[in-house]
Structure 1
């Protein structure tokens, strides 16, 4: 984790909480042969379309409001007021997560989250561990979606449905605006599964850094 804690993530997870998460990861790896990397990203989806949808919508709403109220102004002034207000509202509303989520089709969100999770899996070197026991816990906040990916040794032994409880716990935490509680519970559930199926080995070595990865893009 970089020395300077990202400001954008603080409403979701404090620096102290992120350090506690890193300690949970260390504890999991002390008792299992798994290499766990939790990753939080602000958004996986492309959202350039959001202002393009929002601007004409606010213009249309503004037009109906001004027409209904019959302001005693020249039409040119009404048009200028409407355009200016719509541009300002679009700039304010477009970056809001719930607006991005509302205006991005759910199918697109899911597809882009899955693609980004796969990218992070390889970027984090989880496919390069000696025992092929790397596991990614990927959290995309805007979409409120979580993906768990295991390397070959894990996926051969455990079907993807195994991790649904981990996903559900973290997603519930996000929706309740308590990411720490969700991530803590999800990691503990993950650790329990790994202890049962992938206990620590005598020759086990720590191959990856045991910290929470946070990325804005």
Structure 2
């Protein structure tokens, strides 16, 4: 795996996940795929399962999946989210990421999308005082 984000950028992304998850019971993960083999949405969905993101209690996991070499990414939410949110719910985050990506600010785009997702998910999955962090906040790679 080629190092895409610097250690400082990884730290900013993880901090953004933690900040977003202070607003919502939703669980956000970022995954980087070294070599995308197939359709980005299909591979993202398989990665979602492999990372066991579908095992959260409220089925409210969100995966930001990035294949830097192929310049593709996807944002997918679990069943609990998809049953509650309107069509095109992730469009704003996608567009926000693209805006940053076009200027080469990849970490900034991911952080902005994470924070926006946390804000929007708060309406459907507010943070609860007994919330557990069900998924790791670190970035996964394959």
TM-score (norm 2): 0.89
Unpaired segments of 5 or more residues in structure 1? 1-5, 46-110
The higher radius of gyration belongs to: 1
Q: What CA distance in whole angstroms lies between the structure 2 residues aligned with 1:120 and 1:196? A: 26
1:131 aligns with 2:58: yes
Residue in 2 that maps onto 1:9: 3
Q: What CA distance in whole angstroms lies between the structure 1 residues aligned with 2:101 and 2:3? A: 12
Give the conservation status (yes or no) of the 8 Å contact 1:40–1:138.
Answer: yes
Residue in 1 that maps onto 2:32: 40
TM-score (norm 1): 0.60
Deviation at 1:140, TM superposition (A): 1.7
Residue in 1 that maps onto 2:73: 146
* Pairing 1:1-217 to 2, within 5 Å after superposition: 8-10=2-4, 13-45=5-37, 112-215=39-142
Give the conservation status (yes or no) of the 8 Å contact 1:43–1:140.
Answer: yes
Give the conservation status (yes or no) of the 8 Å contact 1:43–1:142.
Answer: yes
Deviation at 1:214, TM superposition (A): 2.8
Partner of 1:130: helix, strand, or coil? coil
Q: What CA distance in whole angstroms lies between the structure 1 residues aligned with 2:74 and 2:105? A: 18
Q: What CA distance in whole angstroms lies between the structure 1 residues aligned with 2:69 and 2:15? A: 25
Deviation track 1:15-48 (CA, whole Å, cap 9, x = no partner) reads 1110111111111112211011111223313xxx
Deviation at 1:176, TM superposition (A): 2.0
Name which of structure 1's ranges 13-22 and 159-168 shifts more when overlaid on structure 2.
Answer: 159-168
CA RMSD for the aligned pairs?
A: 1.7
Deviation track 1:85-109 (CA, whole Å, cap 9, x = no partner) reads xxxxxxxxxxxxxxxxxxxxxxxxx
Structure with a larger share of its residues in helix: 1
Structure 1 ranges of 4+ moved more than 6 A: none
Q: What CA distance in whole angstroms lies between the structure 2 residues aligned with 1:42 and 1:171? A: 19
Deviation track 1:64-115 (CA, whole Å, cap 9, x = no partner) reads xxxxxxxxxxxxxxxxxxxxxxxxxxxxxxxxxxxxxxxxxxxxxxx62111
Structure with a larger share of its residues in strand: 2
Residue in 2 that maps onto 1:50: none
Unpaired segments of 5 or more residues in structure 2? none
